[in-house]
Structure formats: structure tokens, C-alpha cells
């Protein structure tokens, strides 16, 4: 069994400072095998914000898989936005924009879906999909295959579908060939779990699409700050949601969803 803490949308520069220590304590207490951060580490991609994010990441358990979000690309500095979009991210967070992690139970591939030209919207290209394929295709069946992006492959009903990753259909076909089990993302500042088969009708395949809310941003779209913890075994996945409880000054367990593996994908228990 592997425990993965999935945090997203930290937004240093616009964080609720009161949450930082309680979040750190809760994540450490959960003793995850891996911490995933699915982008938007900063609010405006400023050096001071990246430095604060770097220090915070350093205070969380290792190893980590971190990918950039659109807020980690400069928006108003046009030169940097178009010519050095990830210069500061690389300097402070990770030279590798698409890190991964692999052991005997999980294989995790990070993909950078953030772009300079379409600043808010995300995209995935054929080269990135080929990279996922090279890493995940043909791996052992009992290893859970997990893909991490900032932008989502599904949105809750009623939300703007422009927020979906561009070229998602093309990517999902390859993810299905690879037997992808879980897609982790953020961006919406909304917690949401669904089956990929509800949007992408690919025979014999259904991955779990798991959105984390914002862990520490003051922009929470009416939802409490939250993060997810996944417990992954070859046959079962449990997703625990932890939400900020100001009265208790802690992130508390707020609910769980459980899924089991069937021949055509993951079923809610
Ligand atoms: Fe965000
Ligand atoms: Fe975002």
C-alpha cells in the first residue's frame, strides 16, 4: 500500500498564513510515501513567492512530485512570459518541469500543462503524451499508474469546459493504452472525483480523475481549503479528504471515497 498526499494550488503570495503550520503538521503526521503538488505554487510567479514556496516544500515530507501551474508563469512581464516562462520556477522549485516517481507499487509521471500564450488554459502535446507512454506502457499490472497535471481532464457539471486540458481526448486514448489508473490535478480550487469513462468513452478503460481543492489559497471558490490523501493498493484506492476547520485550527478528515478495480477500470464501492 502506498499513501500519497495530493496538495494543489498553494498560491504563495496569496496564502492564508494561519493554515501553513497546521497543514505541515497534518501532512507530516500522515507519513505519506509521496507528496504530489499539482501546480500554482505561487500567485504571480515572483521570486519572493517562489522562495516561500520552496521553503514550504522543503518542510514537507519527501519524495515529492511537483508540476507548474499557470500562476507559476509570469502574466504581466511579457518578456519573461514568452521568452523565459519557467525561468524562476526552474530556479526555485525544480529544473525538471515534469518529474516522476517510481517504486514497486506506484509509477507517477508529472506533465507540465501550463503555457505562455494561453496563460490560463492548459494544454498537452503529442511529445508529452509520448513521454507518458514511454514511461508507463507495458509496466507491471500491479503497479498503479498515476499522471499528474495542473489542468484537469474533467470538470464538475456546470463548470467552464474551457478549463479542460486542450487535446485531452488525444491524450486519454494513450493513457488508456497505458492502463492509467489515476489522474491527479488542481486548478479549479474544487475537490472532485470522477471516472474518466463519464467523459471519454474508451472501451475497457476507466481511470479515476481526482481534483484537489486549494490547500492554502485565500481564493477557495466557496469551498474550504483542502487536500486529498490517496491510499493505493493493486485492487483498491481510498481517497481521504482533509479540510480546514478554523474552529479546531487543523485540517480534519472530512470524508472518504473508496474504489475497487474491475476489468474495465475503477468502480465506486
Ligand atoms: Fe490555482
Ligand atoms: Fe491554475
Between CA 26 and CA 95 the distance in angstroms is 28
Average pLDDT, integer, range 205-210:
95
Provide φ and ψ at 40, rounded to 5°. Answer: 55, 60
Average pLDDT, integer, range 165-183:
96
Confidence band of 16 (pLDDT split at 50, 70, 90):
very high
Residue 189's SS3 state is coil
Cis peptide before 90 (omega within 30 of 0): no
Sequence-ordered alpha helix ranges (H) in the chain: 20-30, 47-58, 78-83, 87-92, 126-136, 168-178
The whole-angstrom distance between residue 244's C-alpha and the CA centroid of its chain comes to 19
Cα of 75 to ligand 1 centre, how many Å? Answer: 14
* Tens-digit pLDDT profile for residues 85-99: 899 999 999 999 999
Residue 152's SS3 state is coil
Confidence band of 82 (pLDDT split at 50, 70, 90):
confident
Cα of 116 to ligand 1 centre, how many Å? Answer: 16
Nearest CA to 214 among 2, 60, 71, 55?
A: 71
Q: What ligand has the least distance to the C-alpha of 216?
A: 1
Q: Is pLDDT above 90 for 220?
A: no
User: Per-domain residue ranges for the chain?
Assistant: 2-268
Nearest CA to 84 among 60, 116, 49?
A: 116
The CATH number of 2-268, from 3.30.70.370, 3.60.21.10, 3.90.1150.10, 3.40.50.300, is 3.60.21.10
Confidence band of 221 (pLDDT split at 50, 70, 90):
confident
Query: So what's the pLDDT on residue 244?
Result: 98
Cα of 40 to ligand 2 centre, how many Å? Answer: 5
Amino acid at each position: 500500500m502506498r499513501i500519497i498526499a495530493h496538495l494543489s494550488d498553494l498560491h504563495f503570495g496569496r496564502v492564508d498564513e494561519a493554515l501553513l503550520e497546521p497543514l505541515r503538521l497534518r501532512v507530516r503526521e500522515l507519513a505519506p510515501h509521496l507528496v504530489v503538488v499539482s501546480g500554482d505554487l505561487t500567485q504571480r510567479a515572483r521570486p519572493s513567492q517562489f522562495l516561500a514556496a520552496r521553503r514550504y516544500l522543503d518542510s514537507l515530507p519527501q519524495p515529492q512530485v511537483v508540476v507548474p501551474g499557470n500562476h507559476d508563469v509570469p502574466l504581466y512581464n511579457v518578456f519573461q512570459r514568452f521568452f523565459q516562462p519557467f525561468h524562476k520556477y526552474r530556479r526555485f522549485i525544480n529544473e525538471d518541469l515534469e518529474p516522476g516517481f517510481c517504486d514497486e507499487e506506484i509509477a507517477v509521471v508529472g506533465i507540465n500543462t501550463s503555457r505562455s500564450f494561453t496563460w490560463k488554459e492548459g494544454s498537452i502535446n503529442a511529445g508529452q503524451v509520448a513521454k507518458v507512454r514511454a514511461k508507463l506502457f507495458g509496466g507491471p499490472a500491479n503497479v498503479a499508474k498515476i499522471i499528474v497535471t495542473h489542468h484537469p481532464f474533467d470538470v464538475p457539471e456546470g463548470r467552464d469546459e474551457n478549463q479542460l486540458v486542450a487535446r485531452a481526448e488525444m491524450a486519454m486514448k494513450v493513457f488508456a493504452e497505458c492502463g492509467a489508473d489515476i489522474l491527479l490535478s488542481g486548478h479549479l480550487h474544487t475537490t472532485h472525483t470522477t471516472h474518466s469513462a463519464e467523459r471519454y468513452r474508451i472501451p475497457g478503460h476507466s481511470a479515476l480523475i481526482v481534483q484537489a481543492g486549494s490547500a492554502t489559497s485565500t481564493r477557495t471558490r466557496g469551498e474550504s481549503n483542502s487536500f486529498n490523501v490517496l491510499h493505493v493498493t493493486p485492487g483498491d484506492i481510498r481517497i481521504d479528504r482533509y479540510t480546514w476547520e478554523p474552529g479546531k485550527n487543523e485540517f480534519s478528515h472530512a470524508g472518504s471515497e473508496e474504489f475497487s478495480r474491475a476489468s474495465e477500470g475503477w468502480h465506486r464501492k
